[in-house]
């Protein structure tokens, strides 16, 4: 995918969970392509502040907001403050997520509810809370960060896989619901990406065993996902909606 410099010039984006990992990379790339970015954090205020400072030193626009994706009121406040700070909203990236590996028999109701809330309900609430704004401007862009686990299932974190599978289904539904209002809704399905989440997985599994499942033979980088997000957010994807973009080195091929 080749996206011209300035592909997101003049646009405003919220990236949930953008103080680290994939979210941080997406926020950085969006800013480098001209977007004003709401960098959100839950517990890592210092990390978010560092990112905002780096973006501003590069001539970009960013502001950090605390965000609890489990609370509708926090999502509402984040949207309102973004509109106030930047004067608009064009793109929402639902990146915040939670993965805990647990044997199926030991998953509690609380485990299930928290995993569903963080990985799925947050995307649902963001969609509901931005619909009116996107309708009014007859444009908008929602990008959901799903997971290969949502397409293949998973024995080590089945509740996470179920949440991401539902996110993919929600993406398809929202693409149909939002399309008459000029809004595109897509998902990205990462595989193994070199983040803190992957580091936790890699302590339990041999990296050689993981690499054996990836036809391209390497672990992905956060930049691989942010490149895909730039494409989906840009006008080069103007006729793309309801799509799940696999960025997993061929893992999905089985």
| Active site members | 160
* 192 vs 212: CA distance, rounded Å: 12
**By the 8 A CB rule, do 22 and 190 touch?**
yes
Residue carrying the six token digits 């839950």:
42
Helix/strand/coil (H/E/C) assignment for every residue in 28-50: HHHHHCCCEEEEEECCCHHHHHH
Q: What is the DSSP letter of 179?
A: G
Residue carrying the six token digits 């691989």:
224
Measured in whole angstroms, the distance separating CA 168 from the mean position of its chain's CA atoms is 12
């Amino acid at each position: 995918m080749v996206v011209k410099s300035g592909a997101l010039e003049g646009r405003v984006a919220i990236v949930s969970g953008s103080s680290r990992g994939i979210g941080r990379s997406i926020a950085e790339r969006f800013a480098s392509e001209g977007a004003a970015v709401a960098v959100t954090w839950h517990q890592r205020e210092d990390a978010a502040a560092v990112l905002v400072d780096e973006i501003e030193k590069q001539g970009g626009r960013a502001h950090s907001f605390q965000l609890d994706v489990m609370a509708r009121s926090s999502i509402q406040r984040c949207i309102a403050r973004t509109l106030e700070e930047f004067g608009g909203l064009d793109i929402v990236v639902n990146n915040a997520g939670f993965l805990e590996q647990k044997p199926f028999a030991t998953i509690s109701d609380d485990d299930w509810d928290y995993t569903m809330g963080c990985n799925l309900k947050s995307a649902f609430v963001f969609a509901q809370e931005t619909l009116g704004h996107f309708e009014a401007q007859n444009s908008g862009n929602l990008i959901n960060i799903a997971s290969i686990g949502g397409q293949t299932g998973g024995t080590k974190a089945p509740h996470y896989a179920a949440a991401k599978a539902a996110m993919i289904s929600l993406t398809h539904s929202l693409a149909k619901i939002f399309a008459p209002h000029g809004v595109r809704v897509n998902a990205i399905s990462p595989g193994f990406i070199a983040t803190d989440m992957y580091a936790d997985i890699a302590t339990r599994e041999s990296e050689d065993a993981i690499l054996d499942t990836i036809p391209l033979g390497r672990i992905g980088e956060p930049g691989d996902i942010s490149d895909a997000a730039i494409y989906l957010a840009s006008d080069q994807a103007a006729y793309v909606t309801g799509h799940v973009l696999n960025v997993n080195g061929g893992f999905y091929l089985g």
